[in-house]
Amino acid sequence: MPRLLIIGSLEAELGAAARIAAARGARLLTAEGVSAGIGLMRAQGADLVLCDVVHDVGWLVAQLADERIACPVVACGRPNDADAAVRAIRAGAKDFLPLPPEADLIAAMLQAVAADPDRPVVQDPAMTTLLARAEQVARADASVLITGESGTGKEVLARHIHAASRRARGPFVALNCAALPEALLESELFGHEKGAFSGAVASRKGKFEQAEGGTLLLDEIGEMDPRLQAKILRAIQEREIDRLGGNAPVKVDVRILAATHRDLAAEVAKGRFREDLFFRLAVVRLRIPALRERQGDILPLARHFARRYARANGLPQRGLSPAAEALLLTHAWPGNVRELENTLHRAVLLAEGPAIGPEAIDLLEAMPFTAATEAAPSLPVAVAAARPAPQPVAALVGRRMEEVERDLILETLSHCLGNRTRAAEMLGISIRTLRNKLHEYRAAGVAVPPVPGQPPYGAVAAG
């Protein structure tokens, strides 16, 4: 359940956005102004902020960055106020939501910050067995280590475990450990006291405290620095954490779930992951098989995504033709469920006639640019106009390979709201390779989309 903070008056059109978000399962927080909004972020945190442009969006974004609060901000306003939209985007807002709001735009934004909380779609015997085991261990408070390749649905399974647990009424808080640098990650996890570092103008709760009485998912735990691994181990053992700059420990009641695409046992053997933390996290181990290992799930998932994206885009419901189903079953799915989802999203948009045929199923391996630009076709027009339009292949002729690669990487990163891990997965490269590329671009003076919550390096490069 994503946590949504709405800043502004709910008596008019912003109230409609609040009602739509609540109907979509969001947990709402509201504030009349940006100062009150910052106070709520310090105390409770949020996954997404909607801020009316009548307020100082630039100050809000800067304050979140100064306090190392990683959360995207979406500005809201009337579509005829183009100047306000441009000012908000230039001030650091990730998007602009025209008012009155459209339900599919709200859904797309919520989906960008949280996995679908519905029960996992499974039919293959391997997955039904795994799901039954997950539901069995959900009733306990033991830590669970979820492993599997990128795109297999580790966070979806984690949310299902939370929903089936005794903590279901409490919050589910997820943090991607690979998406933030070490200094910001420590503050996000444990919170800080006023004056703990430059910009810490007030105390703020970290993810451990935000998940009080509920579940905390540490996604991509294998990417965490060993120093922070030691602090996580202490938090699990002692059920208490130390805020940055704090003088006394803070007791926490949180269930820990961890997820990784790495073989942590192998990482332990190589000295890159603490053995004691590994055993603390892996009280129960659940491995999600790759999609190619669970062929019985391919068609049920494909039908599920076809229905979802037809509904989200206001298009007629179409089934899959036998030829399309056969094509899906022959593909190796290196990107797993995430690749299947993107493929069906494109197919829904491209399909004509009474059924989705094989001509709408695009299974080319070199698809990161299309996935990046077509994965959210319902983005507001004001934002789309502020970003470079997708170029046809013919338009790339005569350009240097390095320039095309740079533009592809930056546009994909912008689409992922600065999330390095998701961008790397979409591009089919390692997170280390992506970070090295971004370091080269910054050294060359190219503006790079910042990590969520960090001060920007400048405007997003347009290529």
Contact 361, 327 (CB under 8 A): yes
Question: How far apart are the C-alpha atoms of 208 and 214, rounded to whole Å?
Answer: 10
Q: Between helices 401-415 and 431-443, what is the axis angle to 10°?
A: 110
Give the model's pLDDT for residue 396: 59
pLDDT at 237 over 60: yes
Helix (H, G, I), strand (E, B) or coil at 292: helix
51-79: pLDDT as tens digits = 998 899 989 988 887 776 778 888 888 87
Give the model's pLDDT for residue 172: 92
Give the model's pLDDT for residue 376: 33
The percentage of the chain sitting over the pLDDT mark of 70, rounded to a whole number, equals: 86
Q: For 387-463, give the CATH class.
A: mainly alpha
Check residues 112 and 194 and name the one with the higher pLDDT: 194
Domain with CATH 3.40.50.300 in the chain: 125-289
200-232: pLDDT as tens digits = 667 888 899 999 999 999 999 998 988 899 999
150-201: pLDDT as tens digits = 899 999 999 999 988 989 888 999 998 887 777 788 888 998 888 777 666 6
Instruction: Output the CATH code of domain 292-370.
Output: 1.10.8.60
Check residues 176 and 103 and name the one with the higher pLDDT: 176
Token digits for 373? 């630009």
Encode burial over 115-153: b for 16+ CB neighbours within 10 A, e otherwise: bbbeebbbebebbeebbeebeebbeeeebbbbbbbbbbb
Architecture of the domain spanning 3-113: 3-Layer(aba) Sandwich (3.40)
pLDDT band at 244 (very low <50, low <70, confident <90, very high): confident
Question: How far apart are the C-alpha atoms of 396 and 404, rounded to whole Å?
Answer: 7
Cβ neighbour number for residue 90 with a 10 Å cutoff = 12
Please compute the mean of the pLDDT values over residues 347-376 and round it to a whole number: 66
pLDDT band at 235 (very low <50, low <70, confident <90, very high): very high
Q: What fold does the segment set 125-289 form as a domain?
A: Rossmann fold (3.40.50)
Domain with CATH 1.10.8.60 in the chain: 292-370
Please compute the mean of the pLDDT values over residues 346-364 and round it to a whole number: 88
Give the model's pLDDT for residue 313: 80
Please compute the mean of the pLDDT values over residues 27-37 and round it to a whole number: 90
Please compute the mean of the pLDDT values over residues 412-441 and round it to a whole number: 81
Query: Which amino acid, residue 91?
Result: A
Please compute the mean of the pLDDT values over residues 393-410 and round it to a whole number: 74
Domain with CATH 3.40.50.2300 in the chain: 3-113
